[in-house]
Every structure is written in structure tokens, then in C-alpha cells.
A and B are shown apart, each in its own frame.
Chain A
Amino acid sequence: MMHWIIAPIVLPAILAPFIVLAARHHFGIQRVFSVAGVLAQIAIALGLVWQTSDGSVILYQLGDWAAPFGIVVVGDRLSTMMVLLTAVLALFVLLYAIGSRWDERGWHFHALFQFQLMGILGAFLTGDLFNLFVFFEVLLIASYGLMIHSGGDVRLRAGVQYVLFNLIGSTLFLFALGAIYAQTGTLNMADLAQRVTLIDPADTVGIRLAAVLLLLVFAIKAAVVPLHFWLPSSYAEAPAPVAALFAIMTKVGAYAIIRVYTMIFPPELEVTADLHTTWLMPAALASLAIGMIGVLAARKLDRLVAFSVIGSMGMVMVAISMFTPEGTSAALYYIVHSTLAAGALFLIADLVRAGRANLELVAMPAVSGAALTSALFFVAAIAMAGLPPLSGFTGKLMILDAEFDTPQATWIWAVVLCSSLISVVGFARAGSVLFWKAKSVTPPDGSQPMPAPAALSYVAIGGLIALLIAHTVFAGPAYRYMANTSAQLFAPQPYIGTVLETPGKLSTPTKEEH
């Protein structure tokens, strides 16, 4: 059995306690171990991506117990790709946190960061719904600590809202899991995929309820309107590197929706057939519209970026809610783009914050290092708003193309194009107020110019931007990879077969457990 697939979870689980226990008072050692850990994650993730790129499914049975009795960790194209994306984003976020010294402004940044990675990567790799809940809780409890890192009244208050909202989400998740277990007697995803089809068509109330509850839970994570209310305050008030890392957290929700609603409740399953088109699609369009209107309406830069995250999640969900292979490939391409762009924008907002009294979009004296910062903002805003030539544009093109033949195409095209225009105006206004008009404001007499941000901060943001450019230049190969990924998602039989038929302890096919 291949053991590397469990390494992305085990590595941070060992590193984090080590950082807390052995290196508590030594920031240098913490930084070295944290960066080395993330670099090792990237190497492992690259190996896993390479291994699954031929379409094979990696299975790891914990304690050698056969599924569905034991817990399994499963890697296919989609999960390993998300692991790689998380690790790469984490590296640049960590470099920024070190460069901007955010990690010194409170306790245990690096340990919580590693625990957060453990939760996110575990959620991507697990093959069991209850385990998914547990990893959600791991990533949430670490994110509570990171969210209020370095304290402050406003941040604590936003933290309370964030925690309470997510506690309610966790409770809903448990209700959904209980309902699913009561109906099917299993929580292993592959096993569920088989058993859901066996349910008596006359008695589907329970399973339909569970499917809707699960969709609600994942929609909270993905910040789909009207379940997005936790996002603007918490992302805007969180420390910048934390907010940038949170850019992947909304994608955990999107990942869970893709995984569960292609494998367990696929679109052709009669029980839940109308769920996507009736509920998810309008909600996704509303997210897109409200997110981009929020970009135009925001009066502070950090909230502007937070609303652009909601808008881009709306774009992702529009593509997902088609549940066609083309739509899903476009969604996956856009997920990578939106994670990198949102991460870069949050970090750039912090560069601006470092040189100003606050982030309000009014003209103030120019921030130090404004030339480079404004150039980075320009590029990242172009990517996020979806203007050519960057990957936001190619991603949008793929989504529009995938929706072209559908009955809802008029609506989708109208909302996508109008919201793009609105976001372009919003970003252009913010950029011109922050960087352009600043030239005409003379700093008050006797004020010292703020020191320019550290070079390492620029390296981190530049790295994210470079990845965005690479994602555009290599859009062809990237899209082919996404197309292969979604082909694997819509033909889940090899995945299910690998999980259920690999022998382990108790490998004799059992009858019923009940």
C-alpha cells in the first residue's frame, strides 16, 4: 500500500505540536520548520499529482481496515490537484507572513497555520463523510485561532460572528450525516454512492432531506448567497496572510459539492435530480451579482476584496451547478484562478494598509512603495475582474462556452457579463482613488514617510501573480487536465471499485450490517 497519500495530513500534524512545544520562543526556528514543512508538502503534492495523472485512484486504508468499515483516504485527480493548489498558496502566504512580520504579532501563528493546512488537506483527501466533518472542524478550530491572531476589538467581534456562523453550519452538517446514516447505514462516500441507488423510490423523504441539508452546509462553506453573511466581515478583519489562506477555504465547500453531487447524488439520480437547477443555479447567479455589486459599493479596500471573493465563488458555482463535464472542467480551472487571485489581492490590500491610516477608499497621501504596489494591484484586479489577457478572462470564457447550449444560457450570459462590467468599474475606481489621486494629496507637514514593505512581501505576491500568468499561458494544457479530471468525476465507477474492492481486514464481502 502507498503511504505517501497520508503524508499531507500527518506532516502538519507532527510539525504543529513540535513548533508549539519545542520552538515556542524562537521565531527563527518556527519559520524554518514552517517553510520547510510547506515545501515538503509541495513536493509530496507534486508526486501525488504525477501519480494520479494517469487516472489511477490511490487508496489508503487506515489501520488496514477495509472500507466501508474502516476510514479511507483516497486520492484521485481532483483531490491531489486541490492538495497541490493549497500547498502552493500556503507557501506564498507563509512567505508574506514572514516578510511582513505578521507572524510575530501574536502567539502560535505557525502552529495554527500547520493545523489549518492539516484540516484543509484532510478534507480534500478523505473518502468518508463523517471524516470530512472532522476535518472541517480541524480546519475551523485552527481558523478561529488564526482569525483573531494579534487581537484587537474589531477583529475579535468579527471572529465571534465567524465562529458562531460556522458552529451552526457544523450542527447542520451533523443533522445531515444523521439523516444519511439513518437512511443508508453507511457514511463511506463510495459505499453511499451504491446504496443511494437502492433506496425504495416510494420512501425517499429522508435521503432528499439529507441531500438538501448537505448542500446547505457546503453552500455555507462556499459562501453562496444567501448563506454568505459570515464572509465579508471575517475576511476583511482577519490578518492579511490569514485572509489570503482563507481564499482556499471557500473552495473546500466547492470541492465538497463537486465530490458529493457527482458521486453520491449524481445529476442522473432521480431522487435529487432537480436540486442543482432549481436551487443551486439561481443562488449561484445571485452570489455572482451581489458579490460584484459589493465590489462597486464597498468603501474599504479589504471589504472590496472580500466581496470579490463572493462574486468569484458565485462564478465557480454557476459553472458547477450545470453538472456537466464541460461545466465542471471550467469550474476547476476557475477555482485555481480565483484562489490565486484572491490570495494576491488580500496580500496587496495589506501592503496598502501598511502605509495608510486605514483602508477607506478616499484619497490620502501616497503609500511608500506605491509604484510597485499599484502595478501589482493593477495586474491582480485585471485577473479578478476577468479582463483579458489574464486567467480570469480565459476562465470566464470557458464557463460561458460550457453554458452556451443550455436553456438558462440567456440568464447566465447576462448576469456574468453585467457583473463583470460592474466589477471592472469597482476595481478601477478603487485603484484610481488609492494610487492615482494619492499623487495630488500632499502629506501633512512633518510626517515621516512609512518604511517601504519588505522585499520578501513583494516576492510572495509576485509569486502568486506569476502563477496567475502561468495559468493563463498554459491554459490549454491546464484545461485538458481539468477535462480529464471532470471525466473521472463523472465516471466514478473506478473510484468506487478501488475503495470497496481493495482487500483489507474483514475483506470478506459481508451481507447487511443491520
Chain B
Amino acid sequence: MGLELLVASAIGILTAAGTYLTLRLRTFPVILGISLLTYAVNVFLFASGRLTVGAPPILSDAAAYTDPLPQALVLTAIVISFGMTAVVVMIALGAYLGSNDDSVDDPAAASDTRGEETT
């Protein structure tokens, strides 16, 4: 029971913090928030095969075993989210260095479809 509580509250806190940061207006907190969300979802995926302590993740003669599939899913998810975060950091840096502004929303001129910006 203690383990379930620990894992569940960890997922909850990570998700709450991630959601809060994602709703910020600048790219750096938003990227941090999305990273926290991906950590939360990784732990969540890991727990989706039920929590088992001290059992091998493979079918064996032993009576107890851990479901190995979520571990494979988590590995895939970790690699993908790592790659995606790297990409978004690069694009966000490019956008920041280009326009000297790192807010996520459209600037006043562009969100207004009058379109003051030069394309």
C-alpha cells in the first residue's frame, strides 16, 4: 500500500507541476513543464503493469514475475520524448535568437489577422 501511495502521489505532483509550467507564456518554463509531464507519464506507464517488488520481468519458474511489456513501452516513450525535447529546444532557441522574444503566444501583430508582420 505504501508503494502505491508513493508512486501515485509522485505521478500526481509531477503532473500538477508540469501542467502549471506548461500554462506559462515563455518557452523555457513550458519546455520544463512538458518534460515534467513526460516524466509523469513514464512512471504512469511503468505502473500500468501493476507494481511488483523484487520479481524478475520475465516468465520463469518462480511464482511471481513483473509484467515486462510496460518496461518496453517506457523505454520507447523515454527515447521518443528525449528526442522531441531536444528538437523543441533547438527550434525554440532559433525562434528566440531570431526575434529576441521567447513568448509562446502569437505577438499582437500576428495574432491579429491584419498581419503587420512581414512574411
Contact = CB atoms under 8 A, between A and B. Distances in A.
Answer yes or no: do A and B interact: yes
A174 B45 CA distance: 7
Interface stretch (A119-127, A283-291, A296-304, A332-340): A296-304
Contacts of B119: 152, 154, 237, 358-359
Interface of B: 22, 27, 30-31, 34, 37-38, 41-42, 44-45, 47-50, 67, 69-70, 73, 76-77, 80-81, 83-85, 87-88, 91-92, 94-95, 98-99, 104-107, 110, 113-115, 117-119
A167 interface: yes
B22 A163 contact: no
Contacts of A277: none
A245 B41 CA distance: 31
Contacts of B45: 174, 177-178, 181
Interface residues of A, number: 42
Nearest to A140: B84
Nearest to B111: A233
21 contacts: A144-B87, A152-B98, A153-B99, A154-B117, A154-B119, A156-B99, A160-B91, A161-B106, A164-B88, A168-B37, A170-B80, A171-B41, A177-B73, A178-B47, A182-B49, A297-B113, A299-B113, A358-B115, A358-B118, A359-B115, A514-B50
A178 B41 contact: yes
A153 B91 contact: no
Interface in A179-200: 179, 181-182, 185
A237 B91 CA distance: 15
Contact of B113 (A148, A178, A303): A303
A130 interface: yes
A358 B117 CA distance: 10
Contacts, number: 123
B104 A134 contact: no
Nearest to A134: B76
Given A130-B73, A160-B27, A174-B41, A167 B95 contact: no
A178 B84 contact: no
Nearest to B92: A160
Contacts of B70: 178, 181
Interface of A: 130, 134, 137, 140-141, 144, 148, 151-154, 156-157, 159-161, 163-164, 167-168, 170-171, 174-175, 177-179, 181-182, 185, 233, 237, 297-300, 303, 358-360, 513-514
Contacts of B91: 144, 148, 156, 159-160, 163
Given A156-B95, A171-B38, A182-B48, A141 B84 contact: yes
Contacts of A140: 84
B83 A171 contact: no
